[in-house]
Each structure stands twice: as structure tokens, then as C-alpha cells.
Amino acid sequence: MLPATQSDENKRAIAFVLGVQDNYRFQIRSWIKWMEEEGHVINQEGVAGYFTWLNAGSPYAARTIANKRAAVKKRIRAMYRDRPYEERAKMNQFLKDLDEDHATAAPRPANDAIGRDKVVPMEMYEAMKTASITARQRLFFRFLVSTGTRVTEAVTARLVDCVADGPDWIKITVKGKGSKGVAYKTREVSIERSLYDEIRQEFAGTTYLFETSTGRPVDRNYVSRTVKKVGKRIGINISAHTLRHSFATNYLTQNPGKVAALSSFLGHSSVSITLSYYVHEEVTKDQLRRVSA
């Protein structure tokens, strides 16, 4: 299947896919250009490598990636149109496997970019701190704003995964999203040591950073309700996830760049997801820390 491993075979395959006259010609030329630059040919490895790059290394938004994938898949099917049934069946299974593998599956396009109505303006942060009537409310708010973590990631953070990163920062390994058949991804976020010390003093956990008196992680729904209540006190409708969007959007406003580092920091499955939500920008470790300070 897709056996274009020899020079002549690959040339014939390239001539075929470039020779089809349809609306996908530009996308196919882009694919062939990528393979030539990366030393790939038209075979399973070349196609899988291209799809992986589209997700993890390209600057394209999710809808553009979907279009490029569709172009490649259409050409492969055209190459096998007249092949025996068994060969076509194997090829179709190969394409199906690409759609199901986490590294090569198509990213899900966001319905809409994150609007300003889903972002807490920087000038509202102090008001929210003041409206947090307990120390725990203030700490939840500050941690979410500082890290851009999902609520579940925050409340399941373990003390064993909190380590010093220089004299002023604590590095925390959090467990991100997973899905059926796909292992949960971990990533690192950072908070100021002073914030970490306040959390430790207030919650005094033995296993979790945010721990109840019974030794269990704080309930994520409790944190979500708390954030909503604080927002209502100052007249804004927000959720805990709003603070995640705020972290990303406010950073990008201050530090224009590309998205690769921010995507990794937020734990998105691909850069294209970050692009769908925000803009074509990137963050550095020090810049992230400046925003969270």
C-alpha cells in the first residue's frame, strides 16, 4: 500500500497527484513541497508524518488543516481507484487509523474564536481579588489566573509534582485532558513561590495542593461556583474557564508572537486549536511568568 519508496515510483506518484485538476491542487502542491523538504515520499510514513506535522508543527488553523487532510486523502483514494478490492480495503483502513490516532487525527475546529465577553479585563483583576471574601476564594482565583489551567487540573495537582524552579518560582506538573484509548498528557505550569506558600498555609494538604480536611482534592464544581459568585459581586458573568481564556488572551495582547509555546502551556492537543481560539502568537517561559506575576 502506497509503495512509492523508489525514486521512479515516487516520481510517478507525484506526477499523478499533481496532475489531477480540481480545487485541491494548491493543497497538494503544499503537501508535495513539505515532503520534498523533509525527505519523505508518498507512502504511509510520508502521509502520517505530514498529518502529524499539520497538528503539531504547522501554523494552520483547524479548518485549514481539515482542508489539507481532505486533499491528501482524496488523492490517495484516487491512486487506488482501480486497484483490487483487498488493496483498497487496506488503504481505507490506513486512512481510518490516521483519523483515530491522537497524533494524526484532525483537530476539532472551534465554533467561534474567544470573544472579549469571555475574557476578564486586566483592570478587573483587583476588583475580583477584593470581591473574594475568603482567603480560599482569592487563592483559587489567583492560581487560575496565574496558570491558565483547567479547574480539574488545578484541584488534582499533587504536592509531589510541585518542585522548586529557582528561588522565586514553583514548577507544577499537571495532568491534562485525555480521551478513550489515549493517555492523559502532563505539562508544567509555574507559580510564584509566594503564592505557593500561601496555598500551602491555607490548605495544608498532605497529598494535593488544594486539599479538603478529609484528604481529598477540592471539588471542581465548588471552585467553579466560587468563581461565578465572585464575578456576580462585581457585576460580571464569568466562569472558571473564563480565567483560562483570560490568561491566554491577556498574554497575547501584551506579547505578540507565535502560538506554539502557549499551546503547549495550555495543554491543547495541537497548535491549530490555540489558533482557532486566539491568534498567531507564541510565548516564552519568562513572558508567561511576567503575565502570571
**Catalytic residue IDs:** 150, 175, 241, 244, 268, 278
DSSP letters, 170-211, are EEEEEE---BTTBPPPEEEEEEEHHHHHHHHHHH--SSBSSB
Which positions ≥6 away from 62 have C-beta within 8 Å?
A: 106, 107, 108, 109, 110, 270, 272, 273, 275, 276
176-186 CB burial, b ≥16 within 10 A, e <16: beeeeeeeeee
Alpha-carbon distance of 27 to 16, in angstroms, equals: 14
The cell for 248 is 491566554
Alpha-carbon distance of 51 to 209, in angstroms, equals: 38
Alpha-carbon distance of 197 to 170, in angstroms, equals: 10
Bridge partners (DSSP) of residue 192 are 169
Closest to 177 measured CA to CA, from 166, 168, 167, 186: 186
Please report how the helices 135-147 and 193-203 are oriented relative to each other, as an axis angle in degrees rounded to 10.
140
Which of helix, strand or coil describes residue 19? helix
Bridge partners (DSSP) of residue 189 are 172
